Amino acid sequence: MWFGSYDLLMRFWALIEPSLPSMVSVTPAQRGTFEPSSTVSRYLQPIDEMFMFLNYLALRLKQHDLADRFGVHQSTVSQIITTWSNFLYAVLGSVRIWMAVEKIREHLPAEFKDYADTTVILDCTELRCQCPSSPLLQSEVFSVYKSHCTLKGLLGVAPHGAVTFISPLYAGSISDKQIMRESGILSLLRPGMAIMVDRGFLVGDFVPCKIYRPPFLSGRSQMPVGEVRETQAIARLRVHVERLPLRLFGNINQLYTVACLLTNYENGPLVKAWTKKQGSTSAGLF
């Protein structure tokens, strides 16, 4: 589940409950209309609807399975999922997640002492999707890297684990450079900041700040010891982004964004998970 305890779940509920009157419920798809939640017949209490939605995201449960578990029709499940993805997209998306440099430094983990000016760790993630029947659309969403049709998004995470940037999803054929230009992240970066990226993230010609990137081997038989250590250090720190739980279905842009934002409400930063292992997973990251 998204929350480490029942108490955290109820704290999250208390956070969003005041916004429930503004929720717009989606009627069954064949009607193609939206109605205020007060005019739509509710089969479950709002907190149970939210719990169903979280189960859908976190456990990858099918809609017919959720219908059986919650004792409602499958069309009701679909309605609830769409309604709550739109609602949480609006409520959580209204909170500014980009952090001031001073706040990032205030919460900087000790493991980042050699990269203390790091403002954000950036990585592109690709979500496998069904291939369209149109050859033109297939060419748009086909990812050479994944050898499949995908949607691609840029994610940013602060050194202490908080998600601080989420781009919209783009067709899988988009390059890292292009998504960097179009996502809006450049307007947030300033001289004096630093970003941490993957080895293949070649954006140094237009990014207005320092970049930490593992060195290339560049045809050499082996790396110098210093570069090997730098590669391993950055790999351990970049694992923040690589471990984000992206369990996404259906209403994709809303679900994708909500799933990423929900990680900020979990029990503690992602950094806790890997500091216990101290690099045991770094070997396979690049």
pLDDT of residue 188: 95
pLDDT of residue 135: 62
How far is 165 from 256, CA to CA, in rounded Å? Answer: 13
pLDDT digits (tens, 9 = 90+) for 194-206: 999 887 777 878 8
Query: Do residues 279 and 236 touch, judged by C-beta distance below 8 A?
Result: yes
Look over the chain and give the mean of its residue pLDDT values, rounded to a whole number.
76
Report the amino acid identity of residue 155: L
Q: Cα Rg for the chain, rounded, in angstroms?
A: 21
pLDDT band at 270 (very low <50, low <70, confident <90, very high): very low
Report the amino acid identity of residue 210: K
Give yes or no for residue 218 having a pLDDT over 50: no
pLDDT digits (tens, 9 = 90+) for 59-72: 878 899 999 999 99
Give yes or no for residue 124 having a pLDDT over 50: yes
Query: Do residues 51 and 66 touch, judged by C-beta distance below 8 A?
Result: no
**285 class by beta-carbon count within 10 Å (0-12 exposed, 13-18 middle, 19+ buried):** middle
pLDDT band at 58 (very low <50, low <70, confident <90, very high): confident
pLDDT digits (tens, 9 = 90+) for 79-108: 999 999 999 999 999 999 999 999 999 989
Packing angle, helices 46-59 and 6-16, rounded to 10 = 120
- Of 11-20, 36-45, 228-237, the poorest mean pLDDT is in 228-237
How far is 77 from 91, CA to CA, in rounded Å? Answer: 21
pLDDT of residue 165: 95
For the chain, the domains span 6-93, 101-284
What CATH number is given for 101-284 in this structure? 3.30.420
- Report angle CA 209, 97, 187 to the nearest 5 degrees: 35
Query: Do residues 72 and 45 touch, judged by C-beta distance below 8 A?
Result: no
